[in-house]
């Protein structure tokens, strides 16, 4: 058995909106894990890859400190940590590898309904509650605004009702938390989604090889997410028109159809969503026997 140091450690959010997606993504890469509800450690059964279930806010630091080799968390936390480390004179020791196209949200400024806001100037000398002090400080600095940053580690949305702040700067996903607290969004500081980061510390050949393989699989999983395999029959003369209608397809495979002179079968991988309208347009262009199949795996 390989030693503990040879195993790749990936930090994943313990419980929250990224947890299920993150684990699902790694399982689609072929990783089999045993996960008990209260365990903070998931052992990879079929690959030397283990998961550490931690608070999302700690993930970039764990990767920067080389305690974990990789981590999956929101860009918002990665950027906040990067600025925090920069403020203390250190370069963040992690690199961003991929965007993962889930966990979309934004870091936004919001104020009580009816708050006057016509640009950053409206924040002058106001109290803004946030747990993203570094991103907020950066935003205020870029806009040359002096305001008071009030740090709260959670429940930021209730601070205006408590008379502790005039504005809040917090993550917004569906917007229901803001609405439930009578707050309205006034500005966006950062658009965010889940990303995977990797330590910059050298991993050694074996471990790096494993990480590269995992990243290649991850790339494949992300690519097939929207992808569909389309099969159809068409008159040869309509091929150009049909090809132009296939969303995000590379050169399709064209095969003659037995027993006909001018009809061909067309097979193509479409990398973008195939809508009903797409199929209707293909049919109008002369296609028939249309089939759309999910793509499970892809390796370029």
Residue ranges that bind ligand PRP, judged by CB under 6 A: 16-17, 56, 170-177
Q: Which is nearer to Zn ion, 50 or 56 (CB)?
A: 56
C-alpha–C-alpha distance, residues 14 and 20, integer Å: 9
Based on the shown chain and the rule CB under 5 A, indicate whether residue 219 belongs to the binding site for Zn ion. no
Name which of 30 and 182 has its Cβ closer to ligand PRP: 182
Q: Does 58 bind Zn ion (CB under 5 A)?
A: no
Strands 105-112 and 127-130: unpaired
Please tell me the distance from the alpha carbon of residue 55 to that of residue 111, in angstroms, as a whole number.
Answer: 27
CB of 96 to ligand PRP, least distance (A): 19
Q: Closest by alpha carbon to 50, among 36, 70, 73, 20?
A: 70
Site string for Zn ion, 100-129 (x = CB under 5 A): ------------------------------
| Residue 16 CB, nearest approach to Zn ion (Å) | 6
Give least dist CB 273 to ligand PRP, A.
24
Q: Is the dihedral of CA 134, 142, 73, 4 positive or negative?
A: negative
The least distance separating ligand PRP from the CB of residue 74, rounded to whole angstroms, comes to: 7
Return the one option of ligand PRP, Zn ion, none that residue 177 interacts with (CB less than 5 to 8 A, by type).
Answer: ligand PRP
Q: Are 71 and 81 in contact (CB under 8 A)?
A: no
Least spacing, CB of residue 102 vs Zn ion, in Å: 16
- Which residue, 61 or 278, is less far from Zn ion as judged by CB? 61
**Pick from 30, 57, 99, 290: which binds Zn ion (CB under 5 A)?**
57
* Measured distance CA(53)–CA(41) in Å, rounded: 6
- The least CB distance from residue 57 to ligand PRP, in Å, is 6
Which residue do the tokens 């860009």 mark?
75
* Residue 176 interacting entry, from Zn ion, ligand PRP, none, C-beta within 5 to 8 Å by type: ligand PRP
> What's the gap between Cα 216 and its chain centre?
16
**Residue nearest Zn ion by beta-carbon distance:** 56
Between residues 11 and 210, which has the closer beta carbon with respect to ligand PRP?
Answer: 11
CB of 156 to ligand PRP, least distance (A): 6
CA distance 187 to 120: 8
Strands (E) in the chain, as ranges, are: 8-13, 33-34, 41-44, 49-54, 70-74, 94-99, 105-112, 127-130, 148-151, 167-172, 183-192, 194-199, 228-235, 253-256, 263-270, 288-294
Task: Figure out which of the listed residues 49, 51, 56, 218 binds Zn ion, where binding follows CB under 5 A.
Answer: 56
Q: Tokens 């946030």 belong to which residue?
A: 130
DSSP string computed for 190-220: EEE-EEEEEE-S---HHHHHHHHHHHHHHHH
Crossing angle for the helix pair 205-224 and 19-28, to the nearest 10 degrees: 100
Specify the residue, 171 or 266, whose C-beta has the smaller distance to ligand PRP: 171
- Check residue 99 for interaction with Zn ion (CB under 5 A): no
Query: CB-wise, 77 or 221, nearer to ligand PRP?
Result: 77
Per CB under 5 A, residues contacting Zn ion are 56-57
């Amino acid at each position: 058995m390989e030693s503990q140091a040879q195993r790749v450690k990936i930090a994943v959010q313990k419980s929250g909106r990224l947890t299920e997606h993150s684990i699902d993504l790694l399982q689609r890469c072929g990783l089999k894990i045993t996960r008990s509800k209260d365990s903070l450690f998931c052992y990879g059964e079929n690959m030397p890859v283990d998961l550490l279930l931690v608070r999302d806010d700690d993930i970039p630091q764990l990767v920067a400190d080389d305690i974990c080799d990789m981590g999956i968390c929101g860009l918002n936390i990665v950027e906040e940590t990067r600025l925090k480390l920069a403020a203390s004179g250190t370069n963040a020791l992690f690199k961003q590898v991929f965007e993962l196209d889930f966990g979309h949200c934004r870091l936004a400024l919001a104020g009580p309904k009816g708050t006057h806001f016509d640009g950053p100037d409206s924040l002058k000398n106001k109290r803004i509650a946030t747990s993203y002090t570094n991103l907020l400080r950066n935003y205020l600095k870029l806009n040359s605004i002096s305001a008071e940053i009030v740090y709260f580690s959670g429940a930021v949305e209730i601070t205006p009702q408590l008379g502790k702040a005039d504005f809040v700067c917090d993550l917004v996903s569906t917007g229901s938390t803001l609405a439930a607290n009578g707050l309205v969004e006034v500005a966006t500081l950062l658009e965010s989604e889940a990303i995977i980061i990797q330590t910059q510390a050298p991993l050694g050949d074996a471990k790096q090889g494993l990480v590269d393989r995992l990243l290649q699989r991850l790339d494949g999983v992300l690519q097939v997410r929207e992808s569909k395999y389309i099969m159809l029959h068409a008159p040869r003369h309509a091929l150009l028109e049909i090809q132009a209608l296939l969303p995000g397809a590379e050169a399709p495979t064209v095969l003659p159809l037995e027993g006909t002179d001018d009809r061909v079968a067309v097979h193509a991988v479409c990398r973008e969503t195939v809508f009903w309208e797409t199929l209707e347009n293909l049919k109008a262009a002369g296609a028939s026997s249309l089939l759309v199949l999910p793509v499970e795996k892809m390796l370029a």
